[in-house]
């Protein structure tokens, strides 16, 4: 029996409220307030400082669009860095690519990982304790500069650019990520919702453009996130692989099974509405 509602103010004058039971836990850490709340519509929801981070129902909508476009743009990704991502969803999907030998997950708050291990198995699927995954508790802005030319892919699964997430939206951090990639490597990041918070996406594309030769914004749909319309970006030192036949062949040969992502959607997601195009002058070969 539900006991009330949890509401996130997603923009001035806009709230998304979910009918929910009592939280399974609510605690204050050194960085933020964490809660896990059973909801009627979305299953268990993880919130940080009152914002929905991930839910059991729509986690693939977000994570598949963060992970698969990047890793399928690479012929053979072996070493993957996940920045943030303490819920384990990004690490779980990275491990589905057979060539991936090692996933390094860097999370600033150990309590996020502990809470996910205990309460969000439907999201991480055991990935947080998988042999190929190393969990590092550290600020990513301090860790990444120490790993030059180490990774084939960097997946920035951060919170919004407030609190602990602010440092992950700085041009100096993206430049460090570029140096952490091997030649031909690819970066992906979540860039917020372009409807209520267009400045996040605009700033990300501008900053990435100073660190990478090629940048491509794209969009997805995440029902529990502000406006439902969510922005991402891919970046690299080369034009990214987007030919549909190549993506489809890699998708099939890697044995991927998805709920949201498809190779056709991969290409379509980069076709932007006019208002998003106006935010994102990009650097890429067309």
Do residues 16 and 8 lie in contact, with contact meaning Cβ atoms separated by under 8 Å? yes
Supply the pLDDT for residue 160. 82
pLDDT digits (tens, 9 = 90+) for 89-147: 999 999 999 999 999 999 999 999 999 999 999 999 999 999 999 999 999 999 999 99
How many residues are given for the chain?
A: 286
Q: Calculate the average pLDDT of the chain.
A: 94
Answer yes or no: is pLDDT of 280 > 90: no
Supply the pLDDT for residue 285. 39
Contacts of 219 (CB under 8 A, 6+ apart): 194, 229, 230, 231, 232, 269, 272, 273, 276
pLDDT digits (tens, 9 = 90+) for 194-224: 999 999 999 999 999 999 999 999 999 999 9
Q: 13 — alpha (psi -120 to 50), left (phi > 0) or beta?
A: left
Supply the pLDDT for residue 284. 56
Residue 49 designated active-site: no
Going along the chain from its start, the domains and CATH numbers come out as 4-55 (2.30.140.10), 59-277 (3.40.50.150)
Catalytic residue chosen out of the listed positions 58, 157, 160, 193: 157
Contacts of 259 (CB under 8 A, 6+ apart): 60, 61, 64
3-class DSSP assignment, residue 241: coil
Q: How far apart are CA 39 and CA 27, in angstroms?
A: 18
Question: Region 164-180: what's the mean pLDDT?
Answer: 92
Supply the pLDDT for residue 286. 34
pTM over the 0.85 mark:
yes
- With bands split at pLDDT 50, 70 and 90, how would you rate the model's confidence at 238? confident
């Amino acid at each position: 029996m539900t006991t009330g509602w949890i509401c996130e103010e997603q923009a001035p004058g806009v709230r998304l409220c979910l009918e929910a039971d009592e939280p399974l836990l609510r605690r204050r850490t050194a960085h933020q307030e964490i809660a896990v709340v059973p909801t009627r519509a979305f299953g268990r929801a993880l919130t940080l400082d009152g914002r929905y981070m991930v839910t059991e129902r729509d986690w693939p909508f977000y994570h598949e669009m963060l992970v698969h476009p990047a890793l399928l743009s690479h012929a053979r990704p072996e070493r993957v860095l996940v920045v943030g991502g303490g819920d384990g969803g990004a690490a779980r999907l990275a491990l589905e690519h057979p060539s991936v030998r090692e996933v390094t997950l860097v999370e600033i708050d150990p309590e996020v990982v502990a809470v996910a291990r205990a309460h969000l198995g439907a999201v991480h699927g055991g990935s947080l304790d998988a042999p190929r995954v190393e969990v590092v508790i550290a600020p990513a802005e301090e860790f990444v500069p120490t790993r030059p030319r180490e990774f084939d892919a960097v997946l920035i699964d951060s919170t919004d650019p407030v609190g602990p997430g602010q440092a992950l939206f700085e041009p100096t951090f993206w430049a460090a990520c570029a140096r952490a990639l091997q030649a031909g490597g690819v970066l992906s990041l979540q860039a917020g919702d372009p409807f209520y918070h267009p400045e996040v996406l605009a700033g990300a594309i501008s900053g990435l453009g100073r660190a990478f030769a090629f940048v491509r914004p794209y969009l997805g749909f995440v029902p529990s996130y502000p406006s439902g319309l969510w922005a991402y970006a891919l970046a690299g030192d080369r034009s990214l692989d987007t030919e549909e036949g190549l993506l489809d062949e890699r998708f099939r040969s890697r044995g991927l099974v998805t709920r949201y992502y498809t190779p056709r959607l991969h290409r379509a997601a980069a076709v932007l509405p006019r208002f998003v195009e106006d935010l994102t002058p990009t650097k890429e070969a067309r």
